[in-house]
Structure 1
């Protein structure tokens, strides 16, 4: 069998793989991208970020329609089913796939569809969808195979009432009741989406509060609004067993609780896609979650083989994964990278309303004994929010009492994931440019949601004197 040679081979065509491929191609390398799915885009495009956020957008439009007094006489006629929302997401996915594939064509990156398996440290065998096989050789490899929902061995995911964040996208009816096991980002987002379809939702949290990595005030607000939508949140619970049947599925909790609903959505953890890749044969052993250990340059124990994105562990965000891919591409092409990834990247949770955060929380600053002050702007006082009707939410800025340096920004409300980037840009500036006074002394368009920064800054500075 003839062996085709490349400078670098990327395994996986999600955000991490795409970032690496584009950077290497622009450096003049001959690059191949191997993708096990029949389309580019990875889990982000087909099962994760894009479909769930498209669903969330449709739900927000439905909520706006129901709230708008212009349409009160027609609200009862607006019956939307879950499959209708999925069809709306399909068009976004198709457009994303076409766009991403053009990137590869434009940069002369060869995309090869099939499953890759390492034969040795410099070569992979590839099995194409039609059963044909070939061998590819390269000087460097980037493993960007992503992740999938974690499946405990004692849970029957073959049953039609037991779903995960992938299989829920194939749900062809709107259930009346749902239990979501796992209250992380995915669990909270789907709890929010489903509650707006008038589905009775149990959100089972294995911890004592939702999204404990976020600011406490923000997660308290999320809990409040989920409960307002009818979601029942159960903290500090762990499953004993999952019992699917013809008329529903029962979640047995170790506390003795039994929750019976039409369907169960398992949203507790993810596993790296490293199975059957021949990694152990070349000296790479994934951890129990299928993830590969890497150094600060995303190199595995074999320095010419890199791992980026979900398969390399946290933060498992599409945005961070793309940047990791670009970083690795530069490292391979130049032998080093003259720029570093930011430590404080924004987090976005696409619930209804949205949450976004960057920097440290009040809890962290208190533990570190940092003298900080709080600047807040409630959206109900912002003219643009009053115009759009999105008055739920707030912008919260944490800043140093003495230097006025911005230490953290936390936003809850519509467009939070967009609003956060204004503050992020200032936080990235070296002192003395990074100061809350920037927002107090800057003119913002009026009316805009960005004006919340000025309102918060003035309120925060007033607390100092």
Structure 2
């Protein structure tokens, strides 16, 4: 029986970062991955595929140039599912090659197979050829990720009624699509297909969407979606879904009927823990398959077993999962793990992008912090005109007492890149004067920071810091 200092189950963002970190500390590390290739959900069905699909759709459709040439403008007149998939395969091959090289360079052992606990320190791995091996680890990191939630009442067939994993394998682009679930995944795919001129209807039982994002940003986002004829049926629930004659009919709880070519069910994901035999290790998952951990060390209730990434729940970002895996691995092998910076960015790769870092205006109000906001619209920048942008909004929130930046929120082209300027100022405890007094490259969208900073500074006036 092979013995390791750390066994990592799963090779997604949390697993690979944790494994490499432990290996760099001189530990003997094993990664167990049940997929055909390393990379986990992030590389094969989640983060990388969806963002590649988005970029391909925007490029081939000419979406970014329509501000100049009109809504009928296309780079490629007839876009097929194969066009989208071709770029995806090239990207995935590159990601897997990089990851395999990282494992080899850092001497991380890895095997393919399904892992399950035999006891708290022993795992059984069933390989593809049926061979069964047993391995033991002084510590174990569970980074198994999630899988789509598939309720029994939804007639999935992989062609007209699909989950988010199956969407990447479609044979033809639908003329119409209903997306059930206005969470991050649902919104990203709904807006991507809308950019390809598919008629998209978004349905969610909740009357609001993206409640963790600043309300003003969400309102601007919703306006942009409706402006391009996306239907948003919020506060409505699909009670019945029936496939018939190549179409799908939905009956909503208010009596409304919708007929569409394709339905994407994207209402939640489940932790992929059902095959791990958690009971043998003294662990128990919640009703969504997620594991509870100490938020500082990512240790479970079994001291030498850790969990990180999407399997521990919110925020379920590739970026935060990597950091969780790194911290968990350091703690697992007895190394010091520094607490990460307080503020991290959240990116939603919809069309348009949304990115946020720090406190929302609603959170500032709840904390009774005197504040002022500064806003810049991308069309106010010269770069925005050059790019043909009619939309795009950057919002910053400042404390009236300390003049420090409290939050930055962006919706529009390049939002997930632009947010890092605000993130740095937040974590370095910068004030409104940073944006007013510093020089930004011209013409750039980053100039929106100066415009928003000046907007806030003008409103704040001569308010003294002691107030």
Query: Under a length normalisation based on structure 2, what TM-score does the superposition of the two structures give?
Result: 0.95
Structure-1 separation of matches of 2:222 and 2:70: 29
The alpha carbon displacement at 1:76 in A equals 8.5
The alpha carbon displacement at 1:69 in A equals 5.3
- What secondary structure does 2:441 align onto? coil
Match of 2:304 in 1: 304
Deviations 1:56-86 (A, max 9, x none): 1122222346527579998486221233112
- Give the direction of change, closer, same or farther, for the CA distance of 1:38–1:446 in structure 2 (3 Å limit): same
Match of 1:317 in 2: 317
Structure 1 position 440 matched with structure 2 position 430:
no
Kept after mapping to 2: 8 A contact 1:159/1:244: no
Structure-2 separation of matches of 1:118 and 1:460: 56
The alpha carbon displacement at 1:247 in A equals 2.8
The alpha carbon displacement at 1:280 in A equals 1.4
Match of 1:141 in 2: 140
Structure 1 position 22 matched with structure 2 position 20:
yes
Structure-1 separation of matches of 2:360 and 2:108: 42
Give the alignment of 1:98-109 within 5 angstroms. 98-109=97-108
Deviations 1:26-63 (A, max 9, x none): 11000000000011111011101111111111222223
- What secondary structure does 2:141 align onto? strand
Segment drifting more, 57-66 vs 14-23: 57-66
The alpha carbon displacement at 1:404 in A equals 0.7
Structure-2 separation of matches of 1:131 and 1:425: 50
The alpha carbon displacement at 1:391 in A equals 4.0
Structure 1 position 461 matched with structure 2 position 457:
yes
Structure-2 separation of matches of 1:449 and 1:335: 41
- What secondary structure does 2:407 align onto? strand
Give the alignment of 1:36-435 within 5 angstroms. 36-61=34-59, 62-64=61-63, 67=66, 75=74, 78-158=77-157, 160-296=159-295, 297-334=297-334, 336-337=336-337, 339-430=338-429, 434-435=430-431
Kept after mapping to 2: 8 A contact 1:65/1:71: no
The count of residues paired between Structure 1 and Structure 2 equals: 459
- Give the direction of change, closer, same or farther, for the CA distance of 1:413–1:76 in structure 2 (3 Å limit): closer
The alpha carbon displacement at 1:384 in A equals 1.3
Segment drifting more, 408-417 vs 156-165: 156-165
Ranges in structure 1 where 5+ consecutive residues have no aligned partner: none
- What secondary structure does 1:377 align onto? strand
Structure-2 separation of matches of 1:428 and 1:437: 15
Deviations 1:119-140 (A, max 9, x none): 1111111111111111111100
Segment drifting more, 299-308 vs 276-285: 276-285
Structure-2 separation of matches of 1:243 and 1:298: 43
Match of 2:447 in 1: 451
Deviations 1:182-231 (A, max 9, x none): 01111111111111111111100222222121111111111111112221
Segment drifting more, 50-59 vs 340-349: 340-349
- Give the direction of change, closer, same or farther, for the CA distance of 1:110–1:262 in structure 2 (3 Å limit): same
Structure-2 separation of matches of 1:179 and 1:248: 11
For the aligned residues, what is the CA RMSD?
1.8
Deviations 1:338-382 (A, max 9, x none): x11344321111111211001111112122221110111110011
Deviations 1:239-268 (A, max 9, x none): 322222233112222222222211110010
Kept after mapping to 1: 8 A contact 2:342/2:427: no
Kept after mapping to 2: 8 A contact 1:250/1:260: yes
Segment drifting more, 84-93 vs 58-67: 58-67
Query: Under a length normalisation based on structure 1, what TM-score does the superposition of the two structures give?
Result: 0.95
Kept after mapping to 2: 8 A contact 1:356/1:416: yes
Structure-2 separation of matches of 1:173 and 1:75: 18
Kept after mapping to 1: 8 A contact 2:67/2:390: no
- What secondary structure does 1:260 align onto? strand
Match of 2:465 in 1: none
